[in-house]
């Protein structure tokens, strides 16, 4: 079973996100970058599949040179190989362009299964996995909390509103992760040492045959006009009261008379 995992780096979820001076991008000064938490689930699941069925785990990312760090992390967790598509012309590609680039890079990697995060917790696009599956012509199953592979088929539990669907597809296929799938392992010290010797290769757009004219900042379908902070709330009205009954009654009075929600 050859599994490819799509990973991207995102700002640490602790980070305060601020608008940069151009009003269209975020201020990246001092931001710590981490592997997208949903991609950690993807790496972990791929490793478990390898442990159960044999094969290999390759991690693939498109990003700048500093994305090597998350690829090394994945290698330290136990992935076998890493590939980074790093090209300044690809910088700030939108979801469709990112998916085009990743699918072009996937032409040189044999795979039975691709695992992506359901979304990057940066732009929350929920798009790249599905677009890669479309460009490669394979089925997708999103929001997976459990999977089982046998006889060339994958059977997944997928979360939807109020239910879990059990879905089956023939491989090759692409799945995206949902929390609950697993608990990602930490890289151990021996793992980190070993990762240093594992192959981490880099490609540019020309290497994978992608026309720069179809990707990058200037070719975004979705253009950011402006970024703004969400409206700030006024200071909270604190309910006054000596006893729980007074506090409770105070809240219900506001909810009933002013906000009219109860």
Partner 1 sequence: MTQSVLVITEQQNKVFRKVSFEVVSEGRRIADSLNGELVALVIGADVESIAKDLGQYGADKILVADDSALYDYTTDAFTDISAAAAAQTDPALIIIGASSQGKDLAARLAARLDAGLAMDCLAIKDTDEKLIFTRPLYGGKIMAQVEIEGTPQIAAVRPNVLSTTKTAGSGIVEKIDINFEKSRTSVVEKLIEEGDKIELTEADVIVSGGHGTNGDFEAIEELASVLNGAVGASRFAVDEGWRSHNDQVGQTGKIVSPSLYIACGISGAIQHVAGMSTSKTIVAINKDPEAPIFQKADIGIVGDLFEVIPKITEEIKKL
Ligand X SMILES: Nc1ncnc2c1ncn2[C@@H]1O[C@H](COP(=O)(O)O)[C@@H](O)[C@H]1O
Ligand Y SMILES: Cc1cc2nc3c(=O)[nH]c(=O)nc-3n(C[C@H](O)[C@H](O)[C@H](O)COP(=O)(O)OP(=O)(O)OC[C@H]3O[C@@H](n4cnc5c(N)ncnc54)[C@H](O)[C@@H]3O)c2cc1C
* Sites for partner 1 among residues 137-156 (CB under 8 A): 138-143, 145, 155
Residue 44's nearest CA partner among 233, 252, 187 is: 187
Q: Is 216 in the site for ligand X (CB under 6 A)?
A: no
Cβ distance to partner 1 smaller for residue 41 or 195 = 41
Residue length of the chain: 262
Rounded CA separation 120/125 (Å): 7
Of 109, 55, 108, 59, the residue nearest 79 (C-alpha): 59
Phi and psi at residue 225, to the nearest 5°? -85, -45
- Residue 92 in the binding site for partner 1 (CB under 8 A): no
Min. distance of Cβ 50 from partner 1 in angstroms? 23
Q: How far is the CB of 27 from partner 1 (least distance, A)?
A: 11
Task: Specify whether the CB–CB gap between 54 and 80 falls below 8 A.
Answer: no
User: Which residue matches tokens 């109020």?
Assistant: 162
| Closest among 97, 106, 102 to 215, alpha carbons compared | 97
- Of these, 107, 162, 197, 213, which contacts partner 1 (CB under 8 A)? 162
> Which of ligand Y, ligand X, partner 1, none binds 54 (CB below 5-8 Å, type-dependent)?
none
Contact residue for ligand X among 3, 4, 7, 113 (CB under 6 A): 7
13 is an interface residue for ligand Y by CB under 6 A: yes
Binds ligand Y by CB under 6 A, chosen from 11, 15, 26, 37: 37
Examine residue 63 and tell whether it contacts ligand X (CB under 6 A): yes
Helix ranges (H only) for 94-217 are 95-105, 128-136, 189-195, 205-208
For residue 111, state whether it binds ligand X (rule: CB under 6 A).
no
Judged by CB under 6 A, does residue 119 bind ligand X? yes
Given 73, 103, 127, 182, the residue binding ligand X (CB under 6 A): 127
Any bridge partners for residue 158, and if so which?
144, 165
DSSP string, 134-156: HHHT--EEEEEEEEEEETTEEEE
* Residue ranges in contact with ligand Y by CB under 6 A: 13, 37
Note the residues at the interface with ligand X (CB under 6 A). 6-8, 36, 38-39, 61-63, 95, 98, 102, 116-117, 119-120, 123, 125-129
């Amino acid at each position: 079973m050859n599994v490819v995992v799509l990973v991207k780096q995102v700002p640490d979820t602790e980070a305060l996100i601020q608008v940069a001076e151009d009003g269209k991008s975020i201020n990246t000064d001092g931001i710590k970058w981490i592997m997208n938490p949903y991609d950690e689930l993807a790496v972990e699941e791929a490793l478990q599949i390898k442990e159960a069925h044999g094969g290999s785990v390759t991690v693939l990312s498109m990003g700048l040179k500093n994305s090597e760090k998350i690829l090394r992390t994945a290698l330290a967790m136990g992935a076998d190989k890493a590939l980074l598509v790093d090209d300044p012309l690809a910088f700030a590609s939108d979801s469709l362009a990112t998916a085009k680039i990743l699918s072009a890079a996937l032409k040189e990697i044999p795979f039975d299964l691709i695992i992506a995060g359901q979304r990057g917790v940066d732009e929350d696009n929920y798009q790249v996995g599905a677009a890669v599956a479309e460009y490669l012509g394979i089925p997708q199953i999103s929001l997976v909390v459990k999977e089982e592979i046998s006889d060339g088929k994958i059977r997944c539990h997928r979360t939807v509103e109020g239910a879990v669907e059990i879905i089956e597809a023939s491989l090759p296929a692409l799945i995206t992760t949902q929390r609950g799938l697993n608990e990602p392992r930490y890289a151990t010290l021996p793992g980190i040492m070993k990762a240093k010797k594992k192959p981490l290769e880099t490609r540019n757009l020309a290497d994978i045959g992608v026309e720069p004219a179809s990707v990058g900042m200037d070719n975004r379908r979705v253009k950011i006009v402006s970024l703004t902070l969400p409206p700030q709330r006024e200071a909270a009205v604190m309910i006054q009261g000596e006893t729980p009954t007074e506090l409770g009654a105070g809240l219900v009075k506001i909810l009933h008379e002013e906000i009219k929600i109860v």
